Structure 1
Amino acid sequence: METLRSAVADARRIVVKVGSSSLTTPDGAIDEDRIDTLVDVLATRRKAGSEVVFVSSGAIAAGLGPLGLSRRPRDLATQQAAASVGQGLLVARYSASFHRHGLGVGQVLLTADDMMRRAHHGNAQRTLRALLRLGVVPIVNENDTVATDEIRFGDNDRLAALVAHLVQADALVLLSDVDALYTGDPRLPGSLRISDVRSPADLAGVQTGAAGTKVGTGGMVTKVEAARIATGAGVHTVLTSAGAAEQALAGEPVGTYFHPNGQRPPTRMLWLAHATTGQGKIVIDDGAVQAVVHRRKSLLPAGVVGVKGDFAAGDPVDLCDSAGRTVARGLVHYDAAEIPDLMGRSTRWLARELGPEYEREIIHRDDLVILDPPRSETTRTAAAPDETGDGR
Structure 2
Amino acid sequence: MTDEPELRRRIGTARRVVVKIGSSAITSFGGGIRRPQLDALADVCQARMAAGSDVFVVSSGAIGAGMSPLGMTTRPSTLSAKQAAASVGQLELARAWGDSFSRYDRVVGQVLLTAGDIGRRESAANAQRTLDRLRTLGAVPVVNENDTVATNEIRFGDNDRLAALVAHLISADALVLLSDVDALYDSDPRKGDATAVTMVSGAADLDGVVAGAGGALGTGGMASKLAAARLAADAGIPVLLTAAERAAEALADDPGVGTVFAPRPERMTARRFWVRHAADARGAVLLDDGAVRAVTGSRRSLLLAGVTGVDGLFHFGDVIEMRDPAGQTVARGIAQYDSVEVRTRLAERASGSGTTGQGRPLVHADDLVAL
TM-score, reference length from structure 1: 0.86
Question: C-alpha separation between the residues in 2 aligned to 1:59 and 1:271?
Answer: 27
3-state SS of the aligned residue for 1:4?
A: helix
**Map of 2:241 onto structure 1:** 239
Question: C-alpha separation between the residues in 2 aligned to 1:220 and 1:102?
Answer: 35
**Map of 2:329 onto structure 1:** 326
> Is the contact between residue 313 and residue 335 of structure 1 (CA under 8 Å) also seen in structure 2?
yes
**Map of 2:304 onto structure 1:** 301
Q: CA deviation at 1:344?
A: 8.7
Q: CA deviation at 1:171?
A: 0.7
State how 1:17-28 maps to structure 2 within 5 Å.
17-25=20-28, 27=30
Question: One-letter code of the match for 1:129?
Answer: D
> Is the contact between residue 18 and residue 175 of structure 2 (CA under 8 Å) also seen in structure 1?
yes
Which shifted more, 324-333 or 309-318? Answer: 309-318
Question: C-alpha separation between the residues in 2 aligned to 1:271 and 1:62?
Answer: 32
Residue 248 of structure 1: which of 236, 247, 250 is its match? 250
**Map of 1:368 onto structure 2:** 368
Q: CA deviation at 1:286?
A: 4.0
Question: One-letter code of the match for 1:41?
Answer: V
Q: CA deviation at 1:274?
A: 2.1
**Map of 1:75 onto structure 2:** 78
> Is the contact between residue 215 and residue 221 of structure 2 (CA under 8 Å) also seen in structure 1?
yes
Question: Is the aligned partner of 1:16 residue 2:28?
Answer: no
State how 1:270-285 maps to structure 2 within 5 Å.
270-276=273-279, 278-285=281-288
Assess, with a 3 A threshold, how the Cα gap between structure 1 residues 295 and 3 changes in structure 2: closer, same or farther. Answer: closer
* CA RMSD, Structure 1 to Structure 2 (Å): 2.5
**Map of 1:180 onto structure 2:** 183
Question: C-alpha separation between the residues in 1 aligned to 2:217 and 2:170?
Answer: 28
> Which digits, 9 at most, give the CA deviation of each residue in 1:334-391, with x for residues without a partner?
4433322213989xxx9x99xxxx95443344432221xxxxxxxxxxxxxxxxxxxx
> Is the contact between residue 55 and residue 140 of structure 2 (CA under 8 Å) also seen in structure 1?
yes
State how 1:33-52 maps to structure 2 within 5 Å.
33-52=36-55
**Map of 2:107 onto structure 1:** 104
> Is the contact between residue 198 and residue 260 of structure 2 (CA under 8 Å) also seen in structure 1?
yes
**Map of 1:55 onto structure 2:** 58
Q: CA deviation at 1:318?
A: 1.2
3-state SS of the aligned residue for 1:67?
A: coil
Question: C-alpha separation between the residues in 2 aligned to 1:344 and 1:291?
Answer: 23
Question: C-alpha separation between the residues in 2 aligned to 1:67 and 1:333?
Answer: 49
**Map of 1:388 onto structure 2:** none
Q: CA deviation at 1:186?
A: 1.0
Question: One-letter code of the match for 2:238?
Answer: H
After the TM superposition, which segments of 4 or more aligned residues of structure 1 sit over 6 Å from their partners? none
Question: C-alpha separation between the residues in 2 aligned to 1:333 and 1:145?
Answer: 35
Question: C-alpha separation between the residues in 2 aligned to 1:336 and 1:53?
Answer: 40
Question: Is the aligned partner of 1:3 residue 2:6?
Answer: yes
Question: C-alpha separation between the residues in 2 aligned to 1:297 and 1:192?
Answer: 41
**Map of 1:221 onto structure 2:** 223
Question: C-alpha separation between the residues in 1 aligned to 2:347 and 2:288?
Answer: 10
Question: C-alpha separation between the residues in 1 aligned to 2:14 and 2:222?
Answer: 25
Question: C-alpha separation between the residues in 2 aligned to 1:360 and 1:119?
Answer: 27
Q: CA deviation at 1:48?
A: 1.1
3-state SS of the aligned residue for 2:193?
A: coil
Question: C-alpha separation between the residues in 2 aligned to 1:322 and 1:82?
Answer: 41
Q: CA deviation at 1:265?
A: 1.6
Question: C-alpha separation between the residues in 1 aligned to 2:98 and 2:290?
Answer: 56
> Is the contact between residue 301 and residue 345 of structure 1 (CA under 8 Å) also seen in structure 2?
no
Question: One-letter code of the match for 1:152?
Answer: R
**Map of 1:376 onto structure 2:** none
State how 1:54-203 maps to structure 2 within 5 Å.
54-203=57-206
| Residue identity (%) | 53
Question: C-alpha separation between the residues in 1 aligned to 2:64 and 2:193?
Answer: 33
Aligned length: 364
Question: One-letter code of the match for 1:163?
Answer: V
Q: CA deviation at 1:313?
A: 4.5
Assess, with a 3 A threshold, how the Cα gap between structure 1 residues 76 and 314 changes in structure 2: closer, same or farther. Answer: farther
Structure 1 residues not aligned, in runs of 5+: 372-392
> Is the contact between residue 234 and residue 273 of structure 2 (CA under 8 Å) also seen in structure 1?
no
> Is the contact between residue 29 and residue 73 of structure 2 (CA under 8 Å) also seen in structure 1?
no
> Is the contact between residue 302 and residue 344 of structure 1 (CA under 8 Å) also seen in structure 2?
no
Assess, with a 3 A threshold, how the Cα gap between structure 1 residues 59 and 323 changes in structure 2: closer, same or farther. Answer: closer
Q: CA deviation at 1:109?
A: 0.9
Structure 2 residues not aligned, in runs of 5+: none
